[in-house]
């Protein structure tokens, strides 16, 4: 008796553009945790899929992302790890140590990167201003929450942003 294995035919898979909406500073990583290295505008509050898309874009740019730190305030579900490009990335959450509107990415080769997390519900004009400000090489350093508050003060929340994020340049994947 013999077993027959049927292998599916290989098929071409179309190129998929990066899904992460991202703006990064042109300089190397920031000198400290208060300074931002750019901004990330996720499409949803599904942290697992959003982090996977972000790390897939950043791995080739910065080297293998090994750890990601988030504040759980704006994320309903926190995965302990995600899988990216064949390796595991550990995800940690910190309620007091991390800015509620920020994310920290760690890489063995590039070090620490701090990004502003723009709430997914943010309207496009507000998101564009926040991304430009967070990725500017000339502006004075501001925390992620300070940038969100400044955007709300200058342009009004208008339903585009809230203090808790419930209604809300080198660009990659815009």
Q: Is the pLDDT of residue 43 over 50?
A: yes
Q: Assign residue 85 a region (left: φ > 0; alpha: ψ between -120 and 50; beta: otherwise).
A: left
Assign 13 a pLDDT band (cuts: 50, 70, 90): very low
Provide the whole-model pTM: 0.76
Mind listing the pLDDT tens digit for each residue in 54-81?
988 888 888 889 999 999 998 989 999 9
CA neighbor of 121 nearest in space, from 75, 167, 152: 167
74: helix, coil or strand? helix
């Amino acid at each position: 008796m013999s077993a027959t294995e049927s292998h599916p035919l290989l098929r071409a898979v179309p190129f998929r553009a990066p899904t992460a909406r991202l703006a990064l500073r042109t300089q190397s990583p920031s000198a400290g945790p208060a300074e931002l290295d750019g901004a990330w505008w996720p499409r949803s509050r599904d942290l697992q899929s959003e982090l996977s898309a972000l790390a897939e874009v950043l791995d080739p740019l910065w080297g293998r992302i090994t750890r990601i730190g988030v504040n759980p305030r704006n994320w309903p579900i926190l995965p302990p790890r995600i899988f990216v490009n064949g390796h595991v990335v550990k995800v940690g959450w910190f309620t007091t140590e991390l800015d509620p509107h920020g994310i920290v990415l760690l890489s063995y080769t590039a070090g620490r990167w701090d990004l502003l997390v723009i709430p997914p519900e943010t309207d496009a004009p507000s998101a564009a201003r926040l991304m430009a400000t967070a990725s500017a090489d000339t502006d004075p350093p501001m925390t992620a929450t300070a940038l969100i508050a400044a955007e709300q003060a200058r342009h009004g929340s208008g339903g585009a942003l809230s203090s808790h994020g419930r209604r809300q340049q080198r660009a990659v994947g815009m």
